[in-house]
Amino acid sequence: MYASEFSLASATPLQKRAAAYYAPSAGGGSELDNAGDGYGEPLNVIISGLSSPGVLTDAGLLNFAHALGYSEECLDLHAGGAQSADLGDGNGWVDQLIEIREDYGSAAVGTCLESLVGGNHFRVWRQNGTEADSGALFLAVSKEEDIFESHTIVPDGYDIGRNLLVEAAVGTTSYGGVTYSTTAENITGLLAPGSDGVNHDIAQDGIVTLLTVTIVS
C-alpha cells in the first residue's frame, strides 16, 4: 500500500490491546524489513500497542506524525517500490502501510523540500495478525541524503534517524487539537547490533526504542 492509498479511516477497533508488542522473531518474523537484494532496514522504533487506541489508527498515526514535524510524501507521490516486513503475527511479509517524511515546518508541502535536500523519514507496519495482535506500529526510521545522492542513508543514519524521531516525540506535543504525552524505553535483544544483513552495510547499535503515546486532551 502506497501513501496515496493510505486511508484516513481505520478498521482497527478503538480498544486497548493486551501487549505493548510481540517480538517478531517469536513468530518467525524479523526486526529487519525487506529492502530488496537480501538486505533490510532495521525496525528501530515501535509505537506501543498500549498507547491510546486513537494513536494507533491510520488517522491517529498521521496526526501524531504531524505533531512531530512529519507528513505524508510530497504531493502523495511515492518514488520506488514499497518495502515489506514480517512482524511474526501470522500475516507474513506485507508491504509498508505508508512512508512519512520530515516536513520542515509545513505539513502541506514541506516533504517536497525533504525529497530535495534529504532528512528524516520512516516506514510503518502494523502488528495485527491473528498470531500476535498487539496493534503496535513498527517503524523503520532513518536519515537520508538529498536527491543528488539518490536518497541513500547518511553514515550512521539508522541510529541518527531513530534518535531524532524519539527526541521529537518524548514529552508533550500537539497537532490538530490533540495533545500527546510520550515516554520512551530502549529495548535490546530484538535487533542484533552491527551491519549484518542491513541495507547499505550501515552498522547500527541494536537498540529499538519503544514509544508509549497517550492522548491527554
Cα 133 to the center of its chain, rounded Å: 17
Range of weakest confidence among 13-27, 55-69, 119-133: 13-27
> What is the domain extent for residue 80?
19-215
- In the numeric block, which cell numbers belong to residue 94? 506485507
| Mean pLDDT value across the chain | 86
Alpha helices in 48-146 (DSSP H): 58-67, 110-117
> Computed over its alpha carbons, how large is the radius of gyration of the chain?
16
22 and 48 in contact (C-beta within 8 Å)?
Answer: no
| Residue of higher predicted confidence among 39 and 13 | 39
Does residue 65 lie in a domain region? yes
Q: How many CB atoms lie within 10 A of CB 122?
A: 25
Cα 96 to the center of its chain, rounded Å: 9
Residues sharing a CB contact under 8 Å with residue 103, sequence separation 6 or more, in sequence order: 66, 69, 70, 71, 110, 111, 114
* Residues 200-209: tens digit of each pLDDT: 999 999 999 9
Q: Count how many domains the chain has.
A: 1
pLDDT greater than 60 at residue 145: yes
Give the C-alpha separation, 42 to 197, whole Å: 10
Give the model's pLDDT for residue 35.
93
pLDDT greater than 50 at residue 28: yes
Give the model's pLDDT for residue 106.
56
Give the model's pLDDT for residue 49.
98
Give the C-alpha separation, 26 to 82, whole Å: 25
Does residue 98 lie in a domain region? yes
- pLDDT interval class at 6 (50, 70, 90): very low
| Residue of higher predicted confidence among 72 and 45 | 45
How much is the pTM? 0.88
What is the β-pairing status of strands 84-85 and 94-95?
Answer: antiparallel
pLDDT greater than 90 at residue 194: yes
Does residue 9 lie in a domain region? no
Secondary element (H or E) of residue 140: strand 137-144
Secondary element (H or E) of residue 169: helix 157-169
Does residue 61 lie in a domain region? yes
pLDDT greater than 80 at residue 24: yes
Give the C-alpha separation, 120 to 32, whole Å: 18
pLDDT greater than 90 at residue 214: yes
Give the model's pLDDT for residue 146.
59
Does residue 11 lie in a domain region? no
Give the model's pLDDT for residue 115.
59
